[in-house]
Amino acid sequence: MIMNLLKSKKTSVSLPGSDLKSPASINSPGEFIWLILLLLSSLVFTLGFSCATPLAAFGAIAVVAFSRRDALILCGAVWFVNQVVGYTILRYPWSVNSVSWGLVLGGVTIIGTLSSGWIYRHSKTPYLLRLVVTFITAFAVFEVALFAVALFALGGLQDFTVDIVIRIFAINGGAFVGLLVLHWLAVTVGLIPTSPETQPGTGRRVTAGPPAA
């Protein structure tokens, strides 16, 4: 099933308006429900992984599945849910450092989303590779930006050991694949429609079809 998701452009991870230069794409009850399901999944990830919530994975799936505006709305909402749950249920400390890191996470999530969106729109690689590169870009920008903040401002370099970074990468990678499957299921059951895919590097929209032999 996953291979069918990744190889078939007929079920590619895109929502109506996936041309990131176009207006918002959430314009039907089904698409709104799909957005709510993503937010609920972010709640599950927050409760399950706490500080390791896969924000980079949500940034990557957002740029693949939504218009630019909707991608930023989704990522902002995911970050907001993460912070509300963290400070009300998981009891994050109300310290200047903790709140500052929360704000940094929000900003870095937006930067990672925009960066991976640029890669996704301009990449001319095969669809499967484009998905991989989009995710890696989101994760790399996310981690490098956090490392820079830890190094020059807020401290916490002990959280960037190789073992921890590998663990965070695994969590985000698994989440990204899971979100791709969730989207495929949403298309399959008719919750959201399949839409044309944007031609990489152009503003044109082309009709999606079977991958070339």
**């706490």: which residue's tokens?**
50
- 187: number of Cβ within 10 Å: 20
Distance separating alpha carbons of residues 59 and 117, to the nearest angstrom: 9
The whole-number pLDDT of residue 11 equals 40
What local confidence, expressed as pLDDT, does residue 193 receive? 64
Return the pLDDT at 35. 83
Reported as a single tens digit per residue, the pLDDT across 29-46 is 777 888 888 899 888 888
Helices marked H in the chain — which ranges?
A: 2-7, 29-49, 55-65, 68-88, 96-122, 127-149, 162-188
Please tell me the predicted confidence (pLDDT) of residue 189: 85
Measured in whole angstroms, the distance separating CA 137 from the mean position of its chain's CA atoms is: 11
Nearest CA-CA partner of 67 in 125, 121, 131: 121
The pLDDT score that the predictor gives to residue 129 is 95
Low-confidence ranges of the chain (pLDDT < 70): 1-27, 192-213
pLDDT of residue 213: 39
Instruction: Look at the pTM and tell me if it is higher than 0.95.
Output: no
pLDDT of 190 reads: 77
Q: Six-digit token pair at 32?
A: 């709104």
* Distant-in-sequence contacts of 9-12, Cβ < 8 A, 24+ apart: 9/127, 9/197, 9/208, 9/209, 9/210, 9/211, 10/194, 10/208, 10/209, 10/210, 11/184, 11/187, 11/188, 11/194, 12/127, 12/194, 12/197, 12/208
